[in-house]
Chain A
Amino acid sequence: MHAQSPQPLALLRGAATVLPRPVLAALAAAIVRGLKKSHPKLLRNLAGLEPAVVHVVAFDLPYRFAITLGREPIALTVLARDATGADAEVAASVATLVDLLEGRIDSDTLFFRRDLRISGNTAVVVGLRNVLDREELSLAGELAALCGPLARPAQRLARRLEQLADGAGARLAAMHRTLHPPGADSQDLSAELERCHEEIAALTARLGALESRLKRRADKVA
């Protein structure tokens, strides 16, 4: 479960899904430029990390993001979902990634729960996590700041749209529950199935050993 996010997540997710990649790329570059003014220390610290490219993959978005660290200027780019070439990769849902970025959730807790996947150069990911956690960031604030003097009305509009999206989402979820009554959790079932496979493999191995022992005894008797 996530802490109550003040962010218009459905809106962010929706926008990131429908906007063409060049527009998203321009937006990402503008966010980095904005951060240079609002959080200059963050960019200096990111530039001071080991040089690396980290891919951030949101499970529920059709793109992945690439952050280039350890040099100036820091770059945030938008890549195809299946792009490769990262030194390290971080993967989670959009909601989780935004909570992490804004310091509302602990990454170790997510890791224990397996809600966060990391691969590649772990030191780079740990460095990125620690540098981000030093700052009090607000993604909505940074996006709103791009609107200049219209920042406040833009935030109000975003909140209103988010409420509408939440309402529509709740109605859809209710319809889905009516059509598909809650059953066993598929992830639990997968884990259970995996455990059964392991148990069968262990029992098969023991059966094999017992059969061999019986055969040796039979041979001795014979």
Chain B
Amino acid sequence: MTIRYMELVCPAGTPAALRTAVDGGADTVYCGFRDCTNARNYPGLNFDFDELCEGVAYAHARDCKVLVAINTFPRAGDEGPWHRAVDQAAAAGADAVILADLGVLAYATRAQPQLRRHLSVQASAANAPSIKFYQQQFGVRRVVLPRVLAVDEVAELIADTGIETEVFAFGSVGPMSEGRCFLSSYLTGLSPTSEGACAPASHVAYSEVGGRVLSRLGDVTLNSFARGEAAAYPTPCKGRYVTHGRSSYLFEEPIGLNAISILAELKGAGVTALKIEGRQRSRAYVAEVVATFRRALDALDRGDVVTPVGTLHGSTEGGRETRGAYEKGWR
């Protein structure tokens, strides 16, 4: 399958970031409500209902779509906030909701059948039978693929299911267990999949000891950075752990995903949309990354050479970049 145009899907943690993304050339922005119904539930971030209505109006006036992430999993016996979020997204005029939980998908299908449904990466659907299930049962129109697939595997999935796919183009490299990772829950007692925050800020602490910066999550020291060494997020998957007397990154190194150099391959695979991660990042980040990918996609459409790797070097975790599982160089 060959896609004529790949949609650029950009993060908006705040109304100001939404306007920045729209003005910077996003085709679509995604955002969430100010509560545990989305996977970026951090203090001061996200939208209330009025802000979402204003954001949708601003985006639609500029021919840009708005998706609302309602992609956490309801706590037992407490579906209310998730159902309300679906209804409010529909009332605000959002173009689609991004869902993960089967019950929330069933509710949205029944209560707001006209509202487009996308499957969040938190559902971790990475094979054809799983994706077809969501398609058939809930009319899911698009799936956000987990960061575990090589480009040829993405192409096979698209050929097999015929579904729209959205893939991560810039952001983190997850521990290849998206939506199923409980490392942060283990250390903090708060679940990223229900509370909406991996390594919640309330449990993170930094201190300087002997010229080194220590990052802690709960009672566990995750990392120790020497002076001049690039720092990483305080998430357990990016911790440096001591085993056999030697400290190393056991799960993932602090490194950022950047697929800007393989846009042509992703387009050739039939990918519908490229997702920029970072609703928790500032609008300065949004401006820089959106503008860079807009230029690259426009160049791709013109048949020009796409901007090489390195342009966004400073914005990536640890100051390093990878194409992650898209290439699976270890195979």
A194 touches B44 (CB 8 A): no
For residue A154, give the distance in angstroms from its CB to the closest CB of chain B.
Answer: 27
A187 at the interface (CB under 8 A from B): yes
B58 at the interface (CB under 8 A from A): no
A106 touches B285 (CB 8 A): yes
Residue in A3, A105, A113, A194 whose beta carbon sits within 8 Å of that of B230 in the complex: A113
Interface of A, helix, strand, loop or mixed by DSSP: helix
With contact pairs A50-B43, A106-B281, A130-B42 given, residues A111 and B231 touching in the complex (Cβ less than 8 Å): yes
Contacts of B200 in A (CB 8 A): 123
Within B225-259, which residues are at the interface with A (CB < 8 Å)? 225-233
A219 at the interface (CB under 8 A from B): no
Within A162-207, which residues are at the interface with B (CB < 8 Å)? 187-188, 190-191, 194-195, 198
Contacts of A190 in B (CB 8 A): 211, 227-228
Per the bound structure, the CA–CA distance linking A128 and B285 in Å amounts to 17
A131 at the interface (CB under 8 A from B): yes
B53 at the interface (CB under 8 A from A): no
B206 at the interface (CB under 8 A from A): yes
Residue in A45, A118, A136 whose beta carbon sits within 8 Å of that of B206 in the complex: A118
A104 touches B284 (CB 8 A): yes
Contacts of B44 in A (CB 8 A): 45, 49, 126-131, 134
Contacts of B211 in A (CB 8 A): 190, 194
Contacts of B17 in A (CB 8 A): 133
For residue A190, give the distance in angstroms from its CB to the closest CB of chain B.
Answer: 5
A112 touches B201 (CB 8 A): no
Interface size class of A (residues with CB under 8 A): 35 or more
A119 at the interface (CB under 8 A from B): yes
B229 touches A134 (CB 8 A): no
B14 at the interface (CB under 8 A from A): yes
Specify the chain B residue showing the minimal Cβ separation from A135: B16
A103 touches B16 (CB 8 A): yes
B284 touches A103 (CB 8 A): yes
Per the bound structure, the CA–CA distance linking A111 and B238 in Å amounts to 15
For residue B36, give the distance in angstroms from its CB to the closest CB of chain A.
Answer: 15
For residue B128, give the distance in angstroms from its CB to the closest CB of chain A.
Answer: 36
Per the bound structure, the CA–CA distance linking A123 and B232 in Å amounts to 17
Specify the chain A residue showing the minimal Cβ separation from B225: A114
A103 touches B227 (CB 8 A): no
B284 touches A136 (CB 8 A): no
B194-214 Cβ-contact flags toward A at 8 Å (1 or 0): 000000111011111001010
Per the bound structure, the CA–CA distance linking A126 and B280 in Å amounts to 9
With contact pairs A105-B284, A127-B43 given, residues A136 and B16 touching in the complex (Cβ less than 8 Å): yes
B14 touches A133 (CB 8 A): yes
Which positions in B face A, CB cutoff 8 Å? Answer: 13-17, 42-45, 200-202, 204-208, 211, 213, 225-233, 280-285, 288, 314-319
A127-B42, A129-B44 given; name 16 further pairs at CB < 8 Å.
A45-B44, A105-B282, A108-B280, A114-B228, A117-B213, A119-B205, A119-B208, A123-B200, A123-B201, A123-B202, A126-B43, A127-B201, A128-B44, A130-B43, A133-B17, A134-B15
Top 4 closest A-B pairs, CB basis?
A130-B44, A127-B43, A191-B228, A106-B285
